């Protein structure tokens, strides 16, 4: 799938977790802890994918096209705020009287961020980046997910301690290098995409 489809799916997943957290009763502590952990993981995934793959190319293309970068800078600041709020929420104990307030503030900030991305950044990306590049970015996102999952699986089976973590990181890096090499080879086999101006003319016919 292309990068924008993956990001929008990610938005729906985060929204679903927010709704489930909001529906929890005060006596569902175990379920709440699990959901808050899932929400924090989903938010970290959201931030990682966008900041490592999507935002850099947006900044590059926006500068080239002289498009305002203020929405991107605002999104990055929202990421910092969301990360801090989600950390505070997952660290709060069941007896924390501010737990509900923290969840309410986090929910508001996340929804405001997702709405801004959907209405501004993703729309701008569609205009700035051609379809083939969006597909390539989507492949990179999926490959990054597979690398991260491989590292998690390796960390689960490699003995603990500093040496075990170094081994898992080294093996994970090998997986990442192999994935990157395959991506380069696949790009070389495909013919170069039409320039955006040609693509727009073709769409207009």
Mean of pLDDT over the chain? 81
- Whether residue 97 has pLDDT greater than 90: no
CA dist list (Å): 47 to 133, 152, 175, 183: 20, 18, 22, 22
- Whether residue 201 has pLDDT greater than 50: no
Nearest-5° Cα angle at 11, 63 to 151: 90
**Percentage of residues of the chain with pLDDT beyond 70:** 72
Q: What is the mean pLDDT of residues 40-50?
A: 94
Convert the pLDDT of each residue in 154-169 to its tens digit.
777 755 555 555 555 5
Residue 44 is predicted with a pLDDT of: 94
The answer to whether the beta carbons of residues 138 and 47 sit under 8 Å apart is no
Total-model pTM: 0.72
Q: What is the mean pLDDT of residues 72-94?
A: 90
Q: How confident is the model at residue 203 (pLDDT cuts 50, 70, 90)?
A: very low
* Structural domains in the chain, sorted by start: 1-129 (1.20.120), 131-205 (no CATH)
- Whether residue 46 has pLDDT greater than 70: yes
Residue 27 is predicted with a pLDDT of: 62
Residue 100 is predicted with a pLDDT of: 85
Most distant CA atoms of the chain, gap in Å: 63
CA distance 2 to 125: 12
Torsion angle of C-alpha atoms 67, 71, 74, 75, degrees rounded to 10: -110
Q: How many CB atoms lie within 10 A of CB 162?
A: 7
């Amino acid at each position: 799938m292309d990068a924008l489809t993956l990001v929008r799916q990610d938005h729906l997943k985060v929204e679903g977790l927010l709704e489930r957290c909001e529906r929890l009763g005060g006596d569902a502590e175990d379920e709440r802890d699990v959901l808050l952990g899932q929400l924090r993981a989903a938010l970290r995934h959201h931030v990682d994918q966008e900041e490592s793959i999507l935002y850099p190319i947006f900044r590059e293309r926006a500068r080239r096209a002289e498009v305002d970068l203020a929405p991107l800078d605002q999104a990055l600041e929202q990421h910092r705020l969301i990360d801090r709020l989600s950390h505070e929420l997952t660290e709060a104990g069941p007896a924390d009287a501010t737990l509900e307030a923290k969840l309410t503030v986090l929910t508001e900030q996340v929804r405001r961020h997702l709405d801004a991305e959907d209405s501004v950044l993703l729309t701008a990306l569609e205009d700035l980046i051609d379809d083939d590049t969006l597909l390539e970015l989507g492949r990179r996102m999926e490959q990054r997910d597979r690398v991260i999952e491989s590292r998690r699986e390796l960390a689960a089976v490699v003995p603990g301690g500093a040496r075990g973590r170094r081994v898992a990181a080294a093996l994970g890096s090998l997986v990442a290098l192999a994935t990157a090499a395959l991506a380069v080879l696949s790009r070389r086999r495909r013919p170069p995409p039409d320039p955006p101006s040609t693509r727009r003319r073709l769409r207009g016919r």
